Amino acid sequence: MARIEIVPSILSADFTCIEREVKKAQDAGADRIHCDVMDGNFVPNITFGPLMVEAVRRCVTIPLDVHLMIINPMKYVNDFCNAGASILIVHAEVCDVPLIAATIRKNNVRPAVSVNPDKPTSLFLPYLNTVDQVLIMTVFAGFGGQKFIPEMLDKIGEVRNEAARRNLTIDIEVDGGINDKTAEECAGRGANVFVAGSYIFGHGDYEARIGAIRTAAGRGRERLGHEI
C-alpha cells in the first residue's frame, strides 16, 4: 500500500508569519505542504498565485501540493510548476485531463486531478492512467473550515477499486474537514494522503495534531487490510 502522508493546508495558516508556520509544520512531521490557489471565478474566494507558492518553496524542503481551483488551469501550469510545485492538482470540470497531465509531467511535476463533491468521478476515471494522484474533495472547494461530507467516502472507494482493477499505483488524497476521526474513515476506504487546515494550523501543537491524523489513518488502513 502507498504510504500515509499528512499535508497541512496553508489556507488556515497565519499569513502574517507564513515562513514560521510552514517551517513549524515541516518540523512537526508534515510530509507535504498544501497550497490552495483560488481565482474568484471557479470558486468564490481569492487566495494567491505563483509568487506565494515560490515563497513557500523557499521556506521548506518537503514537497508542495498545489491545488488549482481556477477556471483556466492550462494557462498557468508552467507558472506554478516553475514556482516550485511538486504535485499540481487540476479540476476535471474545467480542463482536458490527459492534455494538462502531460503538460504538467513535461515540467517534471506530478499531475493530479480532482472534482467538486457534486461532480462524478466519471469525469476523470477514464484518464486515471495519466495522473499520479486523485484528490477527493470532502467539502466544496473554496473555503476552509467546512464540515466533512460523508457521502464522499463512496468516491474514495470508487477510485481505489478502479485503480486496483487496472493495476495502477496512485495516491488518493482527501481534503476538507479532515481530523482524527474523518481520517480513519477515509483511510478505511483507501485514502492515503490527508490534507488538513484548521485542525492543524488552528491549534498550537502541530506535532500532536499531525500525529493524531497519522494514527487515525493507520487504524483505518488496518481495517481496509482486513477487508481486502
Helix (H, G, I), strand (E, B) or coil at 196: strand
Residue 91 has which C-alpha cell?
479540476
> For 48, which DSSP code?
-
Dist CA 77 CA 225 (whole Å): 37
Q: DSSP characters for 112-180?
A: EEEE-TTS-GGGTGGGGGG-SEEEEESS-TT-SSPPP-GGGHHHHHHHHHHHHHTT---EEEEESS-ST
Angle at 226 between CA 135 and CA 126, to 5 degrees: 35
Instruction: Give residue 157's identity as a one-letter amino acid code.
Output: G
Catalytic residue among 31, 39, 65, 175: 175
- Cα 66 to chain centroid, rounded: 8
96 tagged catalytic: no
Spot the catalytic one: 31, 36, 39, 180. 36
**Chain centroid, CA 91 distance in Å:** 12
* CB-facing half-sphere around the CA of 54: CA atoms within 13 A: 9
36 in catalytic set: yes
Rounded CA separation 95/73 (Å):
7
Catalytic residues: 36, 175
